[in-house]
């Protein structure tokens, strides 16, 4: 099948040719039933990719409505109530339904390939994670179509979100929906930690692990440590709303700051959960397109771990205006500043990676360079509000909106787009169109800056966040107008990407196993990979087996690239397909929706979930070994 | 290659964009800017901001410059070249770890110093103002002078003002960008923020905003801060301490008004307590409307759906009766001096006629807006508690039409009364 031959010459020495290799891309015949029952990490990763992109478009549409409303003073395109639902869902959608799952798409597809494994540790749990995410995402997203969307902000501060001040079912969907999505993230977290610890190929020591897998590893620990906190916070709120407990009840002496502390002990690590995968992707893409190993690999790993640790010690910098007192303000201000050090080191090391290399500007590498450039701006403004007195002017103004969009859009989304251009060939066996990709990049880069840079000004000129409109004559019109134009430009850029994505998936040029001349394990196997990934499990002797590997690496890669055999022919055991994870996820959603529909449904849903789990746990994962 | 050409073309574009923004910045005035602080606290913050901006700019230029440099300098010119396979450089990496750490020390030290300075207890003799956040308006109580007002405060220049922040429902946040940073008003908590407005600043109005999302009309929870000279403040205080009174000269209650008793008016036999105000109070200071800057006057248009005949003339005396009678305004509102009007749910209206705006800064305080507000407040501001009072009006919260209610003439009477409460 593949004619690209890996010989003793390192791949990156070969000229870059957009694959003269396979004329056709052979994929398995896929049926709907096949997708519903799949336990293959690659198919699940693909499902994550499509679903996350769908929700990215939903969140983007919400953003466009926000910008249309704020494009001029006193506009009433949507009412205050609707606007509040839209900004709540924009944040919730982008964080929980777009960026995190887009990262999950890469975790699923790429981690087993990077560490030389045939699947994740728990394939059925992996399917369960996806279905819980999909159903939970729909559960939290659909109500807005009926005017009952969550409207308490993505941060859901009490007492506004308690029954006393939000009597409707809007917040119910949010509380339950986030609880459901947390289950998905936690299951995936344990799954990937187990996978990375246990399923690495021989010779793949931790310090030979690609940095993307390393960052994913850090992220999963952050998930399993941070999500239980939001789970507890949401559980209290759920009990308050549905069963009359008084955890947050002000009249009963409850403290609204309890929620804020719990929320941000989750919420700040969450920021790093969103950004570290993009750090990882950039750390894969830049070396490949510079033909040079990552500069300062150990420091990149350690700084990622350090960011993970420090990320748990800075939460109260979201609360400098609540009046915590000078000691707490000082401590959290200084810890926040400290985080700039490992983050800065990463930026310098990326620049060091490009320096003295052979940098090739492709869609993937441009998005990653753009990520470094824009994330730097977000980092600098981040240091600006790490100083609590200065933050008193900045917090809850549009300056903050500018800051975190430079981090979340300029950082996470740009990095993830870089990852999509880079790994699209591995997902689908075809290359994305480079010309459209560069249009996508430049329009995104310009549109992003047009949208968010003026917000630094509107914020420091006094414009508060989360206002559905503003009056004329406040000095904010010009900046908001520019922001809105930028947002429309981003819509055009995204439309180009979507067109490119779907067109190239069907008719893009075939990629071959290693279209970029990259050095890591995932490029030693065909694109798209066969169901078993590796015909022979590789033995790893270096960080970039295709660049620096010994003869054994090269030989293994040759076999893996050229194997056209089926799993059966090779005697590789593949897990059964099963519908049970989907059923368990669906029944669990039914159980949760009983809180809104009627308590009898909780019992019905719980019984059905237990049955589905029983069926799942008593059926074998894979055929007996022969 | 293409990429680097584009980069070169992009550079002037970026410069042009920055220049355009700078030009735009000069062409307009910025009434809520944080860059020209008018208080000690504002200047402490501004000092830190300038330092952050200084280091931030250096880091920005160096990092982005280095990034652009390496991308252009080390662009791929040939596919056949293999660059040196370096893995890192320990000395370099230590250097670029230590330099940011050193910069952060220059930020951290003044930061901590400023935190402890600005969060010390307010100096004695400060003007205390208790601030209560409500969905979606502000209640202000001056405990040293014992009066309450809403959505508009006067503070004297040069005297420290100590704001004591509390909330009556959800979390709000108090922000006057030109004067100081934010501080949250949190139920079951008492917060402080204090600052001293400059003694040489202008006698003018500053806009204030709620900056913590607090529900439907969070975007319309504004207030006004009027900075005045100490003597003007003292005078204003005497007015605020007075009971609600009609400001037109024929007010029968003004004592010692010569020949006032001769007028046959004064039909208000059942008037619960004749409002009494001294001449000093009648003449007391309020910022003349001509001195109110345009940015402090709301421009929000009222919804066309509420029809009202603006030519109707109201009678303030009839309005006063309606206030405690058929209008049931007194169920929620207080007018000091009237023992029947002691409602605590809505804003204190004792001197509502002297305020610049209504509905927490959403609408200008004039007859067309006030009459429509009384007629159907819920159509004018999302989620408000203030009921829809006009007869036959559609209430968007109950989704029903109000069968009984006030006629337009009655609304006009109420407006005349409220406008008279200067």
The confidence score (pLDDT) of residue B252 equals: 44
The confidence score (pLDDT) of residue B276 equals: 63
Exposed e or buried b per residue across B143-169, where buried means at least 16 C-beta atoms within 10 angstroms of its C-beta? eebebbbbbbbbbbbeebbbbbbbbeb
Query: Which of B44, B66, B74 is best to mutate for the A interface (most A CBs within 10 A)?
Result: B74
Q: Which residues contact A151 (CB under 8 A, 6 or more apart)?
A: A81, A84, A85, A88, A166, A170, A171
Share of chain A above pLDDT 70, in %: 95
The confidence score (pLDDT) of residue B19 equals: 64
User: With an 8 Å Cβ cutoff, are B74 and A296 in contact?
Assistant: no
In this chain, the answer to whether the domains covering B127-240 and B298-420 adopt an identical fold is: no
Burial of B339 (0-12, 13-18, 19+ CB in 10 A): exposed
Task: State the Cα–Cα distance between residues B412 and B315, nearest whole angstrom.
Answer: 7
**Residue A175's pLDDT band (cuts 50, 70, 90):** very high
Block residue for tokens 């995932």:
A522
* For A362, nearest residue in chain B (alpha carbons): B3
Tokens (6 digits) for A315: 């939460």
Exposed e or buried b per residue across A354-378, where buried means at least 16 C-beta atoms within 10 angstroms of its C-beta? bbbbbbbbbbbbbbbbbbbbbbbbb
The answer to whether B414 and B327 are in contact (CB under 8 A) is: yes
User: A283 CB near a chain B CB, below 8 Å?
Assistant: no
What is the secondary structure of A42-102 as a DSSP string? HHHHHHHHHHHHHHHHHHHHHHHHHHHHHTSTT--SS-HHHHHHHHHHHHHIIIIIIIHHH
Share of chain A above pLDDT 90, in %: 87
Q: Which residues on chain B are in Cβ contact (under 8 Å) with A347?
A: 63
Task: State the Cα–Cα distance between residues A202 and A111, nearest whole angstrom.
Answer: 15
Task: State the Cα–Cα distance between residues A420 and B89, nearest whole angstrom.
Answer: 31
User: With an 8 Å Cβ cutoff, are A461 and B48 in contact?
Assistant: no
Tokens (6 digits) for A479: 């900046």
Q: Which residues on chain B are in Cβ contact (under 8 Å) with A466?
A: 213, 218-219
The answer to whether A368 and A281 are in contact (CB under 8 A) is: yes
Using DSSP, state whether A7 is helix, strand or coil. coil
The answer to whether A393 and B49 are in contact (CB under 8 A) is: yes
Distances (CA, A) of A38 to A125, A194, A531, A582: 11, 20, 11, 10
Distances (CA, A) of A451 to A375, B16, B131, B289: 15, 16, 36, 38
**β-pair type (B152-156, B222-228):** parallel
Give CATH superfamily name and number for B298-420: Cytochrome c-like domain (1.10.760.10)
A27-36, A64-73, B231-240 — which is least confidently predicted? A27-36
Q: Which residues contact B21 (CB under 8 A, 6 or more apart)?
A: A453, A454, A457, A482
Burial of A203 (0-12, 13-18, 19+ CB in 10 A): middle
Query: Which of B17, B47, B79 is best to mutate for the A interface (most A CBs within 10 A)?
Result: B79
Residues of A with a catalytic annotation lie at: 90, 119, 154, 184-185, 268, 270, 272, 283, 317-318, 343, 346, 465
**Residue A7's pLDDT band (cuts 50, 70, 90):** very low
Cβ-nearest to B88 among A295, A344, A469: A295
Report how far Cα B175 is from the mean position of its chain's Cα atoms: 7
The confidence score (pLDDT) of residue A551 equals: 74
The confidence score (pLDDT) of residue A10 equals: 46
User: With an 8 Å Cβ cutoff, are A84 and B76 in contact?
Assistant: no
The confidence score (pLDDT) of residue A322 equals: 96
Q: In the predicted model, what is the mean pLDDT of residues B121-142?
A: 96
Q: In the predicted model, what is the mean pLDDT of residues A322-327?
A: 95
**Residue B80's pLDDT band (cuts 50, 70, 90):** confident
Distance from CA of B106 to the nearest CA of A (A): 11
The DSSP element (H or E) to which A426 belongs, if any, is helix A414-428
Q: Please state the domain extents for chain B.
A: 127-240, 298-420
pLDDT score of A608 more than 80: yes
The angle subtended at Cα A192 by Cα A188 and Cα A198, nearest 5°, is 145
User: A332 CB near a chain B CB, below 8 Å?
Assistant: no
The answer to whether A107 and A192 are in contact (CB under 8 A) is: yes
Task: State the Cα–Cα distance between residues A236 and A249, nearest whole angstrom.
Answer: 11
pLDDT score of B6 more than 60: no
Task: State the Cα–Cα distance between residues B271 and B339, nearest whole angstrom.
Answer: 10
Q: Which long-range contacts (CB under 8 A, 24 or more apart) does B22-27 make?
A: B24/A478, B24/A479, B25/A457
Mind listing the pLDDT tens digit for each residue in A220-263?
A: 999 999 999 999 999 999 999 999 999 999 989 889 999 999 99
> Which A residues in the span 549-608 are in contact with B, Cβ-Cβ below 8 Å?
none
The answer to whether B42 and B50 are in contact (CB under 8 A) is: no
What is the secondary structure of B277-346 as a DSSP string? --HHHHT-----GGGS-GGGS--PPPPTTS---TTPPP-HHHHHHHHHTTT-GGGT-B-TT-TT-B--SS
How many interface pairs between A and B have CB atoms less than 8 angstroms apart?
321
Q: Which residues contact A210 (CB under 8 A, 6 or more apart)?
A: A114, A280, A283, A284, A520, A521, A543
Radius of gyration from C-alpha coordinates of chain B: 29
Mind listing the pLDDT tens digit for each residue in B242-277?
A: 988 764 444 444 444 444 444 444 444 444 445 566
* For A473, nearest residue in chain B (alpha carbons): B295
The DSSP element (H or E) to which B165 belongs, if any, is strand B161-167
The confidence score (pLDDT) of residue B265 equals: 43
Q: Provide the 10 A C-beta neighbour count for residue A3.
A: 12
**Residue A3's pLDDT band (cuts 50, 70, 90):** very low
User: With an 8 Å Cβ cutoff, are B30 and A475 in contact?
Assistant: yes
Torsion of CA A416, A417, A422, A423, to 10 degrees: 60
The confidence score (pLDDT) of residue A561 equals: 76
**Residue B23's pLDDT band (cuts 50, 70, 90):** low
| Ramachandran sector of residue B146 (left: φ over 0; alpha: ψ -120 to 50; beta: rest) | left
Block residue for tokens 């109500």:
A143
Task: State the Cα–Cα distance between residues A158 and A141, nearest whole angstrom.
Answer: 21
Q: Which residues contact A297 (CB under 8 A, 6 or more apart)?
A: A207, A211, A543, B87, B88
**Residue A9's pLDDT band (cuts 50, 70, 90):** very low
User: With an 8 Å Cβ cutoff, are A351 and B191 in contact?
Assistant: no
User: B285 CB near a chain A CB, below 8 Å?
Assistant: no
User: With an 8 Å Cβ cutoff, are A323 and B183 in contact?
Assistant: yes
**Residue B13's pLDDT band (cuts 50, 70, 90):** low
Query: What φ, ψ does residue B227 adopt, rounded to 5°?
Result: -95, 125
Task: State the Cα–Cα distance between residues A407 and A391, nearest whole angstrom.
Answer: 17
Distances (CA, A) of A9 to A6, A276, A489, B80: 7, 33, 44, 12
**Residue A557's pLDDT band (cuts 50, 70, 90):** confident
The confidence score (pLDDT) of residue A465 equals: 96
The chain-wide mean pLDDT, for chain B, equals 88
What is the predicted ipTM?
A: 0.92
Cis peptide, bond prior to residue B106, ω within 30 of zero: no
State the architecture of B127-240 in CATH terms: Sandwich (2.60)
* Secondary structure (H, E, C), A465-492: CCCCCCCCCCCCHHHHHHHHHHHHHHHH
The confidence score (pLDDT) of residue A27 equals: 53
Mind listing the pLDDT tens digit for each residue in A465-485?
A: 999 999 999 999 999 999 999
* For B77, nearest residue in chain A (alpha carbons): A358
pTM of the model: 0.92
> Which B residues in the span 346-385 are in contact with A, Cβ-Cβ below 8 Å?
382-383
The confidence score (pLDDT) of residue A572 equals: 87
Report which of A462, A417, A455 is spatially closest to residue A438, judged by C-alpha positions: A417
What is the secondary structure of B238-259 as a DSSP string? HHHHSPP-B-STT-TT-TT-TT
User: With an 8 Å Cβ cutoff, are A392 and B184 in contact?
Assistant: no
**Residue A14's pLDDT band (cuts 50, 70, 90):** very low
How many Cα atoms within 13 Å fall on the side-chain side of residue A434?
14
Tokens (6 digits) for A201: 């190929």
Share of chain B above pLDDT 70, in %: 86
Burial of A62 (0-12, 13-18, 19+ CB in 10 A): buried
User: With an 8 Å Cβ cutoff, are B114 and A389 in contact?
Assistant: yes
Task: State the Cα–Cα distance between residues A384 and A568, nearest whole angstrom.
Answer: 59
Mind listing the pLDDT tens digit for each residue in A84-120?
A: 999 999 999 999 999 999 999 999 999 999 999 999 9
Tokens (6 digits) for A516: 């970029």
Mind listing the pLDDT tens digit for each residue in A192-206?
A: 999 999 999 999 999
Mind listing the pLDDT tens digit for each residue in B213-225?
A: 999 999 999 999 9
User: With an 8 Å Cβ cutoff, are B301 and A369 in contact?
Assistant: no
The answer to whether B265 and B252 are in contact (CB under 8 A) is: yes
Mind listing the pLDDT tens digit for each residue in B165-183?
A: 999 999 999 999 999 999 9
């Amino acid at each position: 099948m593949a004619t690209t031959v890996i010989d003793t010459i390192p791949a990156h020495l070969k000229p870059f040719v957009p694959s003269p290799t396979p004329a056709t891309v052979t994929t398995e015949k896929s049926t709907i039933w096949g997708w519903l029952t799949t336990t293959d990490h690659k198919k699940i990763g693909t499902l994550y990719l499509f679903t996350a992109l769908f929700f990215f478009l939903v969140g983007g549409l919400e953003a466009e409505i926000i910008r249309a409303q704020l494009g001029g003073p006193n506009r009433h395109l949507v009412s205050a109530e609707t606007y509040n639902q839209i900004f709540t869902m924009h944040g919730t959608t982008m964080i929980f339904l777009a960026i995190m799952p887009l990262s999950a798409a890469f975790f699923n597809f790429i981690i087993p390939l990077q560490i030389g494994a045939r699947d994740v540790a728990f394939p059925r749990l992996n399917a369960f994670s996806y279905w819980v995410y999909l159903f939970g995402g729909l559960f939290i997203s659909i109500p807005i179509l009926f005017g009952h969307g969550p409207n308490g902000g993505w941060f859901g501060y009490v007492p506004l979100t308690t029954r006393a001040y939000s009597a409707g079912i809007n917040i119910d969907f949010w509380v339950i929906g986030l609880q459901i999505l947390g289950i998905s993230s936690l299951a995936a977290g344990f799954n990937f930690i187990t996978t990375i610890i246990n399923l690495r190929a021989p010779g793949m020591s931790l310090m030979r692990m690609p940095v993307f897998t390393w960052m994913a590893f850090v992220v999963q620990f952050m998930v399993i440590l941070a999500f239980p906190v939001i789970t507890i916070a949401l559980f209290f709120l759920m009990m308050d709303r549905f069963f009359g407990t008084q955890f947050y009840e002000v009249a009963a002496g409850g403290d609204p700051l309890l929620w804020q502390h719990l929320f941000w002990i989750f919420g700040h690590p969450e920021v790093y959960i969103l950004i570290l995968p993009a750090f990882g992707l950039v750390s894969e893409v830049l070396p490949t397109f510079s033909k040079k190993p990552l500069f300062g690999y150990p420091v990149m790993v350690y700084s990622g771990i350090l960011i993970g640790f420090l990320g748990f010690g800075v939460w109260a910098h979201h609360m400098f205006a609540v009046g915590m007192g000078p000691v707490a303000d000082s401590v959290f201000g200084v810890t926040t500043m400290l985080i700039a050090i490992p983050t800065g080191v990463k930026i310098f090391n990326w620049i060091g990676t490009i320096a003295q290399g052979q940098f090739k500007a492709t869609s993937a590498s441009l998005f990653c360079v753009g990520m470094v450039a824009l994330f730097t701006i977000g980092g600098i403004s981040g240091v600006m509000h790490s100083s609590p007195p200065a933050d008193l002017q900045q917090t809850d103004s549009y300056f903050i909106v500018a800051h975190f969009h430079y981090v979340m859009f300029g950082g996470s989304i740009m990095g993830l787009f870089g990852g999509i251009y880079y790994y699209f060939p591995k997902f689908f066996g075809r290359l994305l169109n480079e010309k459209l990709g560069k249009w996508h990049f430049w329009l995104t880069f310009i549109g992003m800056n047009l949208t968010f840079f003026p917000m630094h000004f509107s914020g420091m000129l006094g414009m508060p966040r989360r206002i559905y409109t503003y009056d004329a004559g406040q000095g904010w019109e010009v900046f908001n107008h520019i922001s809105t134009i930028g947002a429309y430009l981003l819509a055009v850029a995204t439309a180009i990407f979507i067109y490119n994505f779907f067109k190239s998936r069907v008719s893009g040029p075939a990629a071959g196993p290693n279209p970029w001349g990259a050095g890591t394990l995932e490029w030693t196997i065909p694109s798209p990979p066969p169901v078993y990934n590796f015909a022979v499990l590789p033995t790893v002797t270096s960080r970039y087996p295709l660049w620096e590997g010994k003869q054994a690496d090269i030989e293994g890669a040759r076999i893996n690239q050229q194997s056209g055999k089926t799993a059966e022919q090779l005697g590789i055991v593949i897990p059964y397909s099963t519908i049970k994870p989907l059923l368990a996820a669906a029944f669990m959603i039914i159980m949760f929706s009983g809180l809104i529909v009627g308590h009898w449904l909780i019992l019905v849903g719980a019984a059905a979930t237990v049955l589905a789990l029983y069926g799942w746990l008593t059926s074998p994962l894979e055929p007996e070994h022969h | 290659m293409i990429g680097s050409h584009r980069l070169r073309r992009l550079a002037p574009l970026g410069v042009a964009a920055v220049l355009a923004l700078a030009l735009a910045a000069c062409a307009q005035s910025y009434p809520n800017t944080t860059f020209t602080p008018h208080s000690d606290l504002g200047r402490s913050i501004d000092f830190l901001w300038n330092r952050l901006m200084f280091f931030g700019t250096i880091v920005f230029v160096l990092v982005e410059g280095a990034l652009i440099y390496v991308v252009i300098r080390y662009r791929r010119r040939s596919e056949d070249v293999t660059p040196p396979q370096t893995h890192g450089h320990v000395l370099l990496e230590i250097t670029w770890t230590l330099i940011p750490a050193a910069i952060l020390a220059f930020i951290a030290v003044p930061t901590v110093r400023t935190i402890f300075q600005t969060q010390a207890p307010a100096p004695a003799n400060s003007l205390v103002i208790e601030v209560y956040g409500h969905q979606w308006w502000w209640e202000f109580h001056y405990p040293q002078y014992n009066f309450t007002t809403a959505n508009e405060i006067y503070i004297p220049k040069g005297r420290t003002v100590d704001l004591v922040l509390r909330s009556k429902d959800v979390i709000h946040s108090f922000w006057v960008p030109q004067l100081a940073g934010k501080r949250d008003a949190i139920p079951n908590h008492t917060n402080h923020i204090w600052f001293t407005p400059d003694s040489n600043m202008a006698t003018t109005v500053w806009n204030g905003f709620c900056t913590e999302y607090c529900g439907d009309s969070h975007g319309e929870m504004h207030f006004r801060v009027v900075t005045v000279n100490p003597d003007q403040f003292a005078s204003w205080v005497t007015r605020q301490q007075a009971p609600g009174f009609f400001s037109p000269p024929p007010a029968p209650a003004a004592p010692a008004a010569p020949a006032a008793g001769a007028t046959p008016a004064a039909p208000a036999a059942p008037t619960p307590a004749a409002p009494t105000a001294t001449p000093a109070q009648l003449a007391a200071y309020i910022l003349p409307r001509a001195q109110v800057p345009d940015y402090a006057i709301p421009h929000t248009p009222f919804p066309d759906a509420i029809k009202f005949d603006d030519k109707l003339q109201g009678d303030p005396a009839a309005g006063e009766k309606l206030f405690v009678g058929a209008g049931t305004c007194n169920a929620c509102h207080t007018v000091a001096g009237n023992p029947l009007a002691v409602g605590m749910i809505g804003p204190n209206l004792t001197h509502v006629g002297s305020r610049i705006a209504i509905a927490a800064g959403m609408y200008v305080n004039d007859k067309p807006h006030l009459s429509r507000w009384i007629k159907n407040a819920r159509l004018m501001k999302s989620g408000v508690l203030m009921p829809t009072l006009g007869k036959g009006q559609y209430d968007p919260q109950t989704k029903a039409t109000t069968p009984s209610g006030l006629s337009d003439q009655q609304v006009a009477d109420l407006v005349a009364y409220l406008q008279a409460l200067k």
